[in-house]
Amino acid sequence: MKFLVVGGGAREHAIASTLHRAGAEIVVTSANANPGLERVATQSARIDPTDADRVVGFARTSHAEFAVIGPEAPLAAGVADALRSAEIPTVGPSRDGARIETSKVYCRELLRRHGIDASPKFEIPTSIDDVDRLVGRFDGPFVVKPDGLTAGKGVWVQGADFTDPKEGAVHAKSILLQGGRVLLEERLEGEEFSQMAFVTDSGVYPMPAVQDFKRALEGNRGGNTGGMGSYSQRDHLLPFLPAADRDASLEILRRTAEALRAEGSAYRGILYGGFMLTARGPVLVEFNARFGDPEGINALTLYEEGNFAALLAGVATGRVDPNLVRFRLRSTVVKYLVPPGYGDRPKPGGLLEIDEGAIEADGVHVIYGAVDAAGPGTVRLGASRGIALVGEASAIHEAGTRVEAALAHVRGEYYVRHDIGTKDDLARRVEHVRQLRAPGAKASPLPLSVAPAAAPPSSAGTPEQLIG
Ligand code: AMP
Ligand code: GLY
């Protein structure tokens, strides 16, 4: 099978490597020359991944049989629609389906239209005169979100990005004045987790749950980023996430997939739910229409060898064999090496020397992101997340320790969060949820009542079966 991989980051390197290990031939369109992708691809073209005509042209000339779209921007640009029109079955929703990610307002309204009670309290001001009144409706802290794609960086959370509600109101008004739409949301208190699934006509097929570290700096300080690293747990739950809450999040994914279908958006791709585990259960923070980056790297690392090409071909054509949806029972930790200043004012251009052989010999994988090859064993960092190191082990903290040890084989100037996947950090998160849920804890004002998990379609298999 020959797959076109669209995009040139670490997530796409992970997708392409997993396909390659399954015996697929890979061709790539990306704006940068990712050394990892270059290695697994038989052909690669420097094409802007959002340029639908050129992507389709390359898919044709390279005789790709299937396509998989990594990042959100090509989905928003309708590249999946263009590939399907050219009769190339594609993993990635249509532009309409991708609105679940590209418009936070659409996402909240879709859930409301279909009675999916998974949103925090939210308001959508339509003019700047509305803003102060609607801000006044929140009893506690709130969040300001621009409507469009922001690469995880445009969201302002009260208590982290601003303190006085008036500052939040000014931010919301400035978004409206620039012609954008804006969403105001109650600030949720809890632990975030990402639950991804393969979604196609035949059902919703879950992946292991993952926790991402969004803030740039250790101790969860600094600005919101696309994600500095992430971990997953051996049983595909998380230390603070019990099965019942994971199942409630899967039910929200299933009902959302049905809602998209009911509204005419045939969805063949990845659906990623970003949830906050609150005192009352999981509440949806956002949907993404693709693999998370880095969360997709955790999940793909665990994918059972051999069948990934058949699985993605099934997603692209509408029928997945549930026996192909298998993930190994191991814990994983991903840490990104980023340019100094990333998250605020990144300093690109630095060189990193990587002894990949030594790292792989220690059982850690090197996944290349926003870097360009700069000679043997050397890469040049761009302005974004450069290299992901992935460790796996039985326990999460052991996987984290492996990644830390691998850093000895990287020379150059970079920043990495050492606190990802440490015992201390995991314990803090478990304690956070325990306190939120302790009897007598301040009741959450959330109007949340997640429907009990319905029996999954027989083709999907239960999460327990997939884990077990
Ligand atoms: P989003 O782009 O919607 O994922 O938002 C980026 C990040 O902002 C999320 O990963 C959360 O850390 C934070 N965030 C977004 N919405 C909320 C909310 N309602 N309550 C608390 N934090 C939020
Ligand atoms: N890591 C968050 C995302 O992929 O959007």
pLDDT in tens, 106-139: 999 999 999 999 999 999 999 999 999 999 999 9
78 occurs within a structural domain: yes
pLDDT for the residue 41: 98
For residues 162, 165, 166, 168, the Cα torsion angle rounded to the nearest 10 degrees is 50
pLDDT for the residue 441: 78
| Nearest atom within ligand 1 for CA of residue 187 | 20
Tell whether 16 and 163 lie within a shared domain. Answer: no
Give the ligand with the smallest distance to the CA of 272.
2
- What tens digit of pLDDT does each residue of 432-465 get? 999 999 988 765 444 333 333 333 333 333 333 3
Q: Which of 412, 433, 456 is the last residue of a domain?
A: 412
CA dist., res. 411 & res. 426, Å (int): 28
If we measure between CA atoms, which residue out of 208, 206, 224 comes closest to residue 216?
A: 224
342 occurs within a structural domain: yes
460 occurs within a structural domain: no
Tell whether 306 and 399 lie within a shared domain. Answer: yes
Q: Any idea which of 88-92, 197-201, 342-346, 427-431 has the lowest mean pLDDT?
A: 342-346
Q: Quick one: average pLDDT of 53-79? A: 98
**Domain harbouring 143, CATH code:** 3.30.1490.20
Tell whether 303 and 218 lie within a shared domain. Answer: yes
**Number of domains comprising the chain:** 3
Tell whether 231 and 356 lie within a shared domain. Answer: yes
CA dist., res. 168 & res. 157, Å (int): 8
Q: Which of 371, 389, 412 is the last residue of a domain?
A: 412
Pocket test residue of 150, 286, 288 for ligand 2, highest count of atoms within 8 A of CB: 288
Q: Find all residues with CB under 8 Å of 187, minimum gap 6, and list them.
A: 120, 140, 141, 142, 143, 157, 158, 159
pLDDT for the residue 442: 66
What residue numbers bound the domain in which 298 lies?
191-412
Other Cβ atoms less than 10 A from the Cβ of 272: the count is 25
Nearest CA to ligand 2 atom 3: 292
Nearest CA to ligand 2 atom 5: 292
Our answer on whether the CB atom of 71 is closer than 6 Å to any ligand 2 atom is no
| Nearest atom within ligand 2 for CA of residue 294 | 1
Give the ligand with the smallest distance to the CA of 286.
1
Tell whether 130 and 226 lie within a shared domain. Answer: no
**Cα(268) to centroid of ligand 1, in Å?**
25
Our answer on whether the CB atom of 296 is closer than 6 Å to any ligand 2 atom is no
Tell whether 232 and 311 lie within a shared domain. Answer: yes
Contacts 24+ apart (CB under 8 A), 151-155: 151/226, 152/214, 152/224, 152/225, 152/226, 152/227, 153/223, 153/224, 153/225, 153/226, 155/224
Q: Which of 378, 412, 446 is the last residue of a domain?
A: 412
For the full predicted model, state whether its pTM sits above 0.95: no
Residue pair 74/6 in contact by the 8 Å Cβ criterion: yes
Name residue 249's amino acid: S
455 occurs within a structural domain: no
- What tens digit of pLDDT does each residue of 176-190 get? 998 889 999 999 999
**Cα(35) to centroid of ligand 1, in Å?**
32
Residue pair 260/110 in contact by the 8 Å Cβ criterion: yes
pLDDT for the residue 310: 98
Q: Any idea which of 27-31, 146-150, 320-324, 385-389 has the lowest mean pLDDT?
A: 146-150
**Cα(288) to centroid of ligand 2, in Å?**
8
102 occurs within a structural domain: no
**Cα(376) to centroid of ligand 2, in Å?**
30
Residue pair 277/191 in contact by the 8 Å Cβ criterion: yes
